[in-house]
Amino acid sequence: MILVLMSYHLSRKPISIVKSELHRNCSNVIQPKDINITNNVTWCDWPPFDQDNYQTLFGVLDNCFLVAYAIGMFFSGIFGERLPLRYYLSIGMLMSGLFTCLFGLGFYWNIHSLGYYAFVQVMNGLVQTTGWPAVVACVGNWFGKGKRGFIMGVWNSHTSVGNILGSLIAGVFVSTAWGLSFIVPGIIIACTGVLCFFFLVESEFPSQEVGETAPLLRDSSIVDPSINGAVSTEPDVIVEEHSEAISFLGALRIPGVVEFSLCLLFAKLVSYTFLYWLPLYISNVAHFEAKEAGDMSTLFDVGGILGILAGLVSDYTGGRASTCCVMLVVAAPMLFLYNNIGQRSLGTTIGMLLLCGALVNGPYALITTAVSADLGTHESLKGNARALSTVTAIIDGTGSIGAALGPLLAGVISPTGWNNVFYMLISADVLACLVRDWKVFLTAFFGTKWTLKKNCSELLI
């Protein structure tokens, strides 16, 4: 499963690397003698990105993918519940490989139409939604709840590993034939889809295990000792599992789904803003060359791998939501410090990028994995094992709205100064914590009927 979703993220990364090749500083490029050059400023650029509004055009491509991904995610989970996951994943990966390759083939087919590249991005965004809900459902089937946070944290390292590998692979070809920067990752994800079709086991083989070692979707009817702090002394009771897929509105009624969905919206806004804008920020502020800035930005993803500790902490403390909240609160001042002192020396830059990557990606990873699995097997479902895919799709789909908004807002705000961009990111981190624990804050400030204990038990803390 790590290989599957790593290939998904690997295939998304090339466009951020290729942008610098599609629009270059042609004054520093040696002009070939066999080409008739009519414009010394843009002769080496790839039309239509040779225009003055090239940044806007790049933003169009980014949002074509991200908006399509956000919309498609809400429907992906519904289909994932009703189709065999092995077929659903394999077809999705093959189609994603096709559209990734089609973007790169524009280089060899000499295509200069913005509409073509925008269409490919939209279709790729839609088919890539097949990955997350289906894979979370599979991993949720394999592992019990007791170690779910750590196991899913390790598994979720695919996000950062995929981003790093995608950058490195695209960088190999970007200066010579940028089409290969897309075609090679497209072939990789397509081949992984073939492997998935032949070797994926959708769930663990039936066993008599119960409790925290039983597969997640078969122990949902058993009282979990980590909820409400209670330990059940009742004998094991066999509860009939519901086979009917849950509706979209039914999934929204599960306690905690709306709160965590909104929390992920703001957390993913911060993460994806770094994903798309961090190399440019480093280049502008630290005055690195484009390649050096891109290499330095991978440290943020390395820090994201360290974010798996969030899952380990949540397993040890039994508090998924508390772990998320603490990391979000600490991330806000760290982002402020990185913007103000992060570029003073190379060592400071490396340290701050690693720290910020862990704090930003930790809550994001925990919500999209272990928390989604917890909510998808909530006791209110009464053993309905087919809700996990829809719940995961709702949470990640809402988060993907933030993923689309973040880079868009950064593009609008950055001309006014990078400080304002970081103020936006800090505000988003604070809002992520507030929307997650709004009942707690109501209790603290307005004396409502909600208590911390009740709120925590409802939201699976």
Complete DSSP assignment for 212-245:
GGS-GGGSTTSPPTTSTT----SPP---PPP-SP
Give per-residue pLDDT as tens, 238-282. Answer: 344 445 556 667 777 777 788 888 888 998 899 888 888 887 788
pLDDT at 16: 81
pLDDT at 224: 40
Name residues of the chain where pLDDT drops below 70: 1-2, 25, 27-41, 80-81, 136-137, 139-156, 202-248, 289-291, 307-308, 315, 318, 369-389, 436-461
Distance (Å, whole) CA 237 – CA 326: 37
Distance (Å, whole) CA 124 – CA 12: 9
Phi-psi region of 31 (alpha: psi -120 to 50; beta: other; left: phi over 0): beta
pLDDT at 204: 53
Distance (Å, whole) CA 99 – CA 127: 9
Give per-residue pLDDT as tens, 329-359. Answer: 899 999 999 998 888 888 888 999 999 998 9
Give per-residue pLDDT as tens, 229-238. Answer: 343 434 443 3
Distance (Å, whole) CA 391 – CA 380: 13
